[in-house]
Structure 1
């Protein structure tokens, strides 16, 4: 059956003949062959695995340079480049042993170095690692990364916060395309499902040089699931159960590849009842349902690589408005609720020349968002259609200098179909051009870049002058120049220093420019300011890392100055029993950082201790605190690794203690938050019974059923606690 599927989907590949080839052997320090090593060429989306003799082979490769990564658990990842391919090439690799996490190729930065080689400090986490922590949503998993938090509404809606900046100040990328889903709204979540996502990269700081407007605070870059290794067929099924919400998460996927063609598809369904707080009561209408489908097809030969991906996501979200009211374990949402349909289509093309290449990403997103107050007739419905393009030309390498020149742009339209208007019908056009260079010598790297952007926003007049819901016509243009400079060096063999200075910008969004009414979920009347200026920031980052075979330590510090920071401030007026807030601007500063260590004592090879601390403070020029700044957090984990004979492999057990401190540094309309400590347990591994093998994970989160209210919870003003004890059982079968 597998052979038939391969033939039907990928039969054309037999018509193509191989040209350049790379072969080799991967060995350990004792010169013994290593079977099962993952060998992956990211630009071609091609992968293979070493055989029993440690051998691998790639065929039909393009001219010019060829970059490949070698990854194996327990060994240091190596990223190798053949500067000019011949007809036949040999690349033998010796991997050195490492007890720490595997190094990964960073895709979110332009030169695709290994994380350890990158000038910028970029956090990289596999989705599998985040899932092993037992979180029920993707954003909950992200919030376990130092420097990342979430603004949440129950368990269904979460918005990322990077070092105190959120909303349109954090840019999200998936499938190489910037996500546009009305993320300015308080009740608008990320709109992504973790099924079919391989890993996430977090840039904690301004990345406008690479991504333009809205990357002022940082970037979340989601890497999609890799295709199968060449000439293989794989299928898997996973199932998770959540005791607190009586929830279920099911996912099934298949993928196959030949030398040239690649195909994958994955479907998922996620359903949850109202979540329970510590005393056993449920938070009424915090239930939600999610359907997700991802598919992709790719083709590569000696001249180019092309990958087309599609993601459909449907969300049915209840909005908890009455707190602890009707108690039910039903998964059918009540009113008010949201219905969201999201379509994401992406096309990545890499064209290879003799000594250079052109990388082009095209994306289209259709976001259809409806809000239902008391009937199935949408009171508010917005359709946001966005077309993105991103082209980068990698010049031939000149000595030790690599150079990239790129253009990016976006065309976006927002159209209203409901009775209520949250923002007016509008059109947004972006255009940006940038250049960046990387110079590497000895143990040091210098990277610099410059960029210019223009954003034009036009909107239509709507409503009656002087009444709620009136929007005046708008035609604004915003320009910005941005630059970055980064330096990395080894102060000693185990000690690395990174220093980065970068600017970023964010043009004001439609809500900030045009609002005139009660913003859903905020219970306040908001008035926009059509004269707002562009936010512009300068951030300095310092990173120190020390690593030897049994000890790893890092410390990150940052200072971020933001000119014309946009926020809402009470005017003292009241309209229809709602306090009136207006959008104004002031300069602001944010500063803080993260520190942590990972200790692996010798000779206890099965034991790991990890600890990290994160802090951020945000103030306006008048010394008042900024709103929505996360509380300080201290996170500690003890992890053991083991196996039980031949039937239980790659076993692990974890004890995690996460202490969040009180938050007294609040803005004028916020209230202080108490500190709390949560205890979490995890257990898992691979079970082998004959020829059957499956992964199992068991997690106990908030094990002691602690009642607490997170500072960034939107239910905090109503005194509604966060989720209580939650036991999560997950299994994954490779079919």
Structure 2
């Protein structure tokens, strides 16, 4: 232990190892309970925990957390003047349930608490995240779902896998699926504040980072993980296998997922053409060195899914086929350069395409393909990150669509720093982006765009953020400001064609400027051993908020076999879909989005109670009307009973009615849903190195009728009724 007598700064050194195989554990979180002092372990499991003894008692509790291991507490007396030496962690089964626990290591992150009741919440990312405050599901049936965070969707937050983009087109339209299966995920974190800018400029809504264990900890023995389960509301069956094979200083990882679902059912009947079939295969090889690793990953994804029919489009539904090949090369080294101790280089290549078919057709109507190259280089220390990134995308549309073939180049520099001052902590970040978009029109005339406006566009913009953190006894005050800027997407500029899966004809705006949003957020938290409360208001303003607006609405009902009641209307594209599709056009407007989140938690021995309240209000300041697709006010009540090897949880989710309606929106009534969850440890093979968890969950226990305000099918069918979920996770 090192002590600076003048400042009373203490440095504790130690090493984190696995209890099973005595191998070092990288990226373990080490922090002092009820303080802001923390550190992480390096590739060798080593760490340095630096703290000010004037801000702690003589006896401190050091907590060590790592996904896949049981949380460990070490009681340490400062007067002993000794190092921590080796600390051993015991493996646990990884699952996902408690996503609403505030990390003590990074105050602007919401992340999984692996010590709490753990389970997979849903088959898709959006529904899984909807158990968090102010996150709801934008959906068009069970296969087309996207999270909406505080009223933001699309390109206003960043969804990543191990910090990397997916390379798909999920942010551009609702029918484009996210190329991810929850069986792959080991952890999910929601990041807000200054640190978001290291992921991208489009982070006013935050960052959703999913962790996939492509780079496992070094092991001496082979390891196998099996996961299987089923759901009743769509008659689905799914499974996953992952095998890690060590050889000398190398490790090979092989995995596969499969998921098959039938049509979605509701208390009022079946939502047709909503079945799906998804398969994922991944392979990785890692070479471990004394100070780092080299890693290669390949992942292949195939998805086939249906979109339900509506009268304003294809009356028999639309089918989509999606393909994605993902390649990653990663070099990571421990270094000693200036104040930096980590260096990594990462290259990604993603080959993505999806095809849209009229139901049961043999040839696609629309095909959108995209090739993505991404190069990243980064230096890290415990409190500083600096990096650079180059991203190149090539969009290749085909079929019944006039969006031009387009190349998109983006170069960025970014930095993040945390400074521990005498009375508070200061967090700063900055990111600069240069964006160049080069279209290559293949025609001399477009349906709705002026050919002379389809030309090269260049943008330069800077995003920055400033945050502060102040701790006074059991109270913590956190606040940050962010100026987030983003360039328009290719589709927002040059789209001219139908999105068959969402039954719309979308028109871009080639002269769009950079979208700029400023945001303010403050939280006040009180935390003790048995009680925690957090109050968190936020406010965002944009002078040029991009929104794809419906150009009109036909009030009379269209009856199949008769002429259209709005024949000839200029807000309909004739000849698309089942003869017609509504037109949507991108527009810029002044907008503000504000809201409040309150979290309350109490612990009484084996009994835990939590309550979450969240609301968001969005307004179009140009037209003095509400913004469309805003989350309704949500309340979540959760009670957990911890037994010897089991947990029982009762969860109630109340959604208020939504009567603040944007243009062409309709009223949505309130709802109350009850979930019952039971989890127990189950190891049928009784082997020493085996572990298993069985989870049985009943969603919507009382089969209540409920409607999702953000669902495109709410006028056709309600949300799913009672749903029995059985999950089993086994590891050896």
Both structures adopt the same fold (TM-score exceeding 0.5): yes
Task: Determine the C-alpha separation between the residues in 2 that align with 1:79 and 1:481.
Answer: 45
- Give the structure 2 partner of residue 430 of structure 1: 410
Q: 1:690 to 1:405 in 2, by over 3 A?
A: closer
CA contact (8 A) 1:75 1:102 kept: no
Task: Determine the C-alpha separation between the residues in 2 that align with 1:724 and 1:215.
Answer: 34
Q: Per-residue deviation at 1:90?
A: 6.1
- Give the structure 2 partner of residue 277 of structure 1: 266
Q: How does the TM-score come out when normalised to structure 1?
A: 0.80
Structure 1 segment 576-587 matched on structure 2, within 5 A: 576=574, 578-587=581-590
CA contact (8 A) 1:171 1:219 kept: yes
Which of the residues 345, 362, 369 maps onto 1:383?
369
Q: 1:124 to 1:38 in 2, by over 3 A?
A: farther
Structure 1 segment 560-575 matched on structure 2, within 5 A: 560-571=540-551, 573-575=570-572
- Give the structure 2 partner of residue 707 of structure 1: 705
Which of the residues 460, 465, 471 maps onto 1:490?
471
Q: Per-residue deviation at 1:563?
A: 2.2
Question: Does 2:659 correspond to 1:671?
Answer: no
- Give the structure 2 partner of residue 337 of structure 1: 319
- Give the structure 2 partner of residue 42 of structure 1: 26
CA contact (8 A) 2:194 2:428 kept: no
Q: 1:549 to 1:570 in 2, by over 3 A?
A: closer
Which of the residues 167, 176, 187 maps onto 1:199?
187
Task: Determine the C-alpha separation between the residues in 2 that align with 1:533 and 1:389.
Answer: 26
CA contact (8 A) 2:492 2:509 kept: yes
CA contact (8 A) 1:59 1:259 kept: no
RMSD: 3.6
Of 514-523 and 449-458, the range deviating more from structure 2 = 514-523
Q: 1:433 to 1:103 in 2, by over 3 A?
A: farther
Q: Per-residue deviation at 1:534?
A: 0.9
- Give the structure 2 partner of residue 610 of structure 1: 610
Q: Per-residue deviation at 1:103?
A: 14
CA contact (8 A) 1:170 1:217 kept: yes
Which of the residues 434, 453, 456 maps onto 2:436?
456
Q: Per-residue deviation at 1:37?
A: 12
Q: 1:37 to 1:667 in 2, by over 3 A?
A: farther
Q: Secondary structure at the match of 1:511?
A: helix
- Give the structure 1 partner of residue 680 of structure 2: 685
CA contact (8 A) 1:40 1:46 kept: no
Q: Deviations 1:28-63 (Å, cap 9, x if unpaired)?
A: xxxxxx9679996435x999xxxxxxxxxx999499
- Give the structure 2 partner of residue 503 of structure 1: 483
Task: Determine the C-alpha separation between the residues in 1 that align with 2:23 and 2:596.
Answer: 35
Of 535-544 and 441-450, the range deviating more from structure 2 = 441-450
Question: Does 2:391 correspond to 1:410?
Answer: yes
Q: Deviations 1:406-443 (Å, cap 9, x if unpaired)?
A: 11120010112x32126321000001112332211457
Q: Per-residue deviation at 1:478?
A: 1.3
Question: Does 2:620 correspond to 1:657?
Answer: no
Question: Does 2:597 correspond to 1:594?
Answer: yes
- Give the structure 1 partner of residue 456 of structure 2: 475
- Give the structure 1 partner of residue 58 of structure 2: none
Task: Determine the C-alpha separation between the residues in 2 that align with 1:510 and 1:526.
Answer: 12
CA contact (8 A) 1:290 1:316 kept: yes
Q: 1:606 to 1:673 in 2, by over 3 A?
A: same
Task: Determine the C-alpha separation between the residues in 2 that align with 1:528 and 1:123.
Answer: 35
Q: 1:237 to 1:724 in 2, by over 3 A?
A: same
Q: Which runs of 5+ in 1 are unaligned?
A: 1-21, 27-33, 48-57, 81-88, 96-100, 107-113, 324-333, 644-648
- Give the structure 2 partner of residue 10 of structure 1: none
Q: Per-residue deviation at 1:579?
A: 4.4
Which of the residues 445, 454, 473 maps onto 2:425?
445
CA contact (8 A) 1:228 1:257 kept: no
Structure 1 segment 139-154 matched on structure 2, within 5 A: 139-154=126-141
Q: 1:249 to 1:613 in 2, by over 3 A?
A: same
Which of the residues 334, 337, 345 maps onto 1:360?
345
CA contact (8 A) 1:394 1:404 kept: yes
Structure 1 segment 96-115 matched on structure 2, within 5 A: 115=103
Task: Determine the C-alpha separation between the residues in 1 that align with 2:450 and 2:536.
Answer: 46
Q: Per-residue deviation at 1:189?
A: 2.2
Q: Per-residue deviation at 1:552?
A: 1.7
- Give the structure 1 partner of residue 640 of structure 2: 639
Task: Determine the C-alpha separation between the residues in 1 that align with 2:439 and 2:536.
Answer: 42
Q: 1:345 to 1:470 in 2, by over 3 A?
A: farther
Question: Does 2:275 correspond to 1:287?
Answer: yes
Of 470-479 and 381-390, the range deviating more from structure 2 = 470-479
Q: Deviations 1:653-694 (Å, cap 9, x if unpaired)?
A: 111110011111121121121110101101111124562553
Question: Does 2:124 correspond to 1:137?
Answer: yes
Task: Determine the C-alpha separation between the residues in 1 that align with 2:704 and 2:25.
Answer: 46
Of 308-317 and 120-129, the range deviating more from structure 2 = 120-129
- Give the structure 2 partner of residue 371 of structure 1: 356
Q: 1:361 to 1:443 in 2, by over 3 A?
A: farther
CA contact (8 A) 2:332 2:343 kept: yes
Question: Does 2:374 correspond to 1:393?
Answer: no
- Give the structure 1 partner of residue 728 of structure 2: 731
- Give the structure 2 partner of residue 51 of structure 1: none
Q: 1:169 to 1:62 in 2, by over 3 A?
A: same
Task: Determine the C-alpha separation between the residues in 1 that align with 2:725 and 2:522.
Answer: 38
CA contact (8 A) 1:62 1:301 kept: no
Q: Per-residue deviation at 1:369?
A: 0.7
Q: Per-residue deviation at 1:538?
A: 1.1
